[in-house]
Amino acid sequence: MKHVKPIDAPVIVGSMALDNVKTPAGEVTDSLGGAANYSAVAASFFTPVNLVGVIGDDFPQTHLDYLESRNIDLAGVDRIDGGKTFSWSGYYDFDLNIAHTTDTQLNVFADFKPTLPDAYRKASYVFLANIDPVLQLDVLNQVEKPRLTLCDTMNFWITSKRDALIEVLSRVDVAFMNDAEARQLTGCMSTIKAAKAIQKLGPKTVIVKKGEHGALLFHEDEHFSAPSYPLEDIVDPTGAGDSFAGGFIGYIASEGDITPKTMRRAVVYGSVMASFNVEDFSLNRMRRLTPHHIAERYRKFKEIAYFEAMEEAVL
Amino acid sequence: MKHVKPIDAPVIVGSMALDNVKTPAGEVTDSLGGAANYSAVAASFFTPVNLVGVIGDDFPQTHLDYLESRNIDLAGVDRIDGGKTFSWSGYYDFDLNIAHTTDTQLNVFADFKPTLPDAYRKASYVFLANIDPVLQLDVLNQVEKPRLTLCDTMNFWITSKRDALIEVLSRVDVAFMNDAEARQLTGCMSTIKAAKAIQKLGPKTVIVKKGEHGALLFHEDEHFSAPSYPLEDIVDPTGAGDSFAGGFIGYIASEGDITPKTMRRAVVYGSVMASFNVEDFSLNRMRRLTPHHIAERYRKFKEIAYFEAMEEAVL
């Protein structure tokens, strides 16, 4: 891995959770979850990370140890004495594209006011994972002159905090969204039209995550389509989008450039990290992952997408 | 275009129709349609075609003239005196993925018994477009020693003629299906599992058409994912899958080889032809299409799917 200057370690802000998840492959309780954790761990394979979030005093020390072992700085994580960590409970049936929520316990997350340590305010890369867009704006107001700001969101905020979300979009460089969210936000049935409509709201770069159909990058006038990895057995789709964003940001930060060439590769690294993440519950697959695995799968993506240029003679 | 030996002109068997189609972009009545026509015209940009189908005496001479102008041989087309041509009436709402059928008039198609002219029986390439699988089997029994047999189907036959369809699949080399059909046939929620299950039924090669999400090629153990073309405005999706299959077969026949390399390119040519076809009603876009347009769009597909191989140094 390249040496990354501390200032280039991305700041990742979002939820840290203890989840209860059930899928056709099994179930886990009180497992490490939350958008910020999934993103930070995925990014950590490429770069050190500065994490901003909140936990209760029930958050196991072993999880904190694991995050620190991944070179994730926890100076921005608030631990609330007597508080309980945010918890999501849900299940997936055989259609793994649909998450069914059975319970959401906001707990300490209800009063989350992200405050960036001074050292983080000069960050070059800032990722606002899926949280209330009002908080995303708070974070944007705390950073001095980031090189690249990125945000994710979800259907809940599109409906309930639309104006704040539109303001976030007007201020970030990169927006991640899944295809249903892109259509919901813009009212466009076509994913292509929806992505272009989102670009008009602010972000030069829009990345549409399409799960088993891969991902699309819209960067100014450029268009790139990344395939998905042909997984036969998905154990748990939770955190796939967050791992995708983490891989994307981690790779960008490690390269230190934001050219279209790097963005395309970052989309593939994002897809690689998401494809690993869904192979096990929680962050379990990440615990066994090595740079060699990542390199192998990147090559596999290259092979899946490869076809020869045309020979002029044919037509 | 390469010189194609007559024996290598693919035989395409299927419906020839006069359609009534309404979409958010407008409507057409009694327009040239039918799976065999869409496939044959798309294939005709790469190779001469031998068409097998049935029409009534209401089928306009101008349509026959157009097909012949495309180097499509009509010796296998039966014209029934006093009969009416098959007609499909339907509409699309803003979700262009869903065709709503308002009327199907089988007419002369109800008694269709495809009979191959003697010269066609030695064909190297035989495409069984979407028709009753019992008729598809009839055609397979009439060809002597084809190099490559291909079939398409639809949800209706999966439900109503499952056994015959399974027999067709056990006898063809290539199966085209859209993702919903692949899942319906196999009962697998995962497209990847569904495609592999279809391979086990017979065809070495399974091609899953995913509309706006591109197409997947499963060829023995190989996996290839082709992107879709980012069309903002789709005028009429009718015939997209047939144009895809026609482009695929036409390219294979023109190359005269069935290596994985050629198959991958054929999937992209199929995608190219489908992307043009939906830009106008009926076969209208095809009437204005040139080899230069096809070459340009193939290059565009290459650009959309391109990303750099990894530098070992990164990880």
pLDDT digits (tens, 9 = 90+) for A196-247: 999 999 999 999 999 999 999 999 999 999 999 999 889 999 999 999 999 9
- Is B302's CB within 8 Å of A302's CB? no
pLDDT digits (tens, 9 = 90+) for A132-155: 999 999 999 999 999 999 999 999
pLDDT score recorded for residue A5 = 62
Are A293 and A285 in contact, with CB atoms under 8 Å apart? no
- Is A302's CB within 8 Å of B291's CB? no
- Is A308's CB within 8 Å of B228's CB? no
DSSP states along A213-237: G-EEEEETTEEEEEPPP--S--S--
Low-confidence ranges of chain A (pLDDT < 70): 1-7, 311-315
ipTM rounded to 2 decimals: 0.91
- Is B225's CB within 8 Å of A224's CB? no
- Is B305's CB within 8 Å of A308's CB? no
Looking at beta carbons, which residues of chain A come within 8 Å of B295? 310, 312, 315
Give the span between the Cα atoms of A7 and A11, in whole angstroms. 9
DSSP classification of residue A85: -
Choose among B276, B176, B170, B269: nearest CA to B217.
Answer: B176
What would be the CATH architecture of the domain defined by A7-306?
3-Layer(aba) Sandwich (3.40)
Which residue of chain A is at minimal alpha-carbon distance from B303? A224
pLDDT tens for chain B, 315 residues long, are: 455 566 689 999 999 999 999 999 999 999 999 999 999 999 999 999 999 999 999 999 999 999 999 999 999 999 999 999 999 999 999 888 889 999 999 999 999 999 999 999 999 999 999 999 999 999 999 999 999 999 999 999 999 999 999 999 999 999 999 999 999 999 998 899 999 999 999 999 999 999 999 999 999 999 999 999 999 889 999 999 999 999 999 999 999 999 999 999 999 999 999 999 999 999 999 999 999 999 999 999 999 999 999 764 444
- Is B291's CB within 8 Å of A315's CB? yes
Domain boundaries, chain A: 7-306
Are B91 and B23 in contact, with CB atoms under 8 Å apart? yes
Looking at beta carbons, which residues of chain A come within 8 Å of B255? 314
pLDDT score recorded for residue A229 = 96
In one-letter notation, the amino acid at residue A223 is H
What would be the CATH architecture of the domain defined by B6-305?
3-Layer(aba) Sandwich (3.40)
> Going by C-beta distance under 8 Å and a sequence separation of 6 or more, which residues neighbour residue B38?
B238, B239, B242, B243, B246, B277, B283
Looking at beta carbons, which residues of chain B come within 8 Å of A313? 2
- Is B189's CB within 8 Å of A294's CB? no
Of A46, A214, A308, the CB nearest to B225: A214
Which residue of chain A is at minimal alpha-carbon distance from B297? A310
Of B95, B231, B307, the CB nearest to A192: B231
Of A190, A227, A268, the CB nearest to B232: A190
What pTM, to 2 d.p., does this model score? 0.94
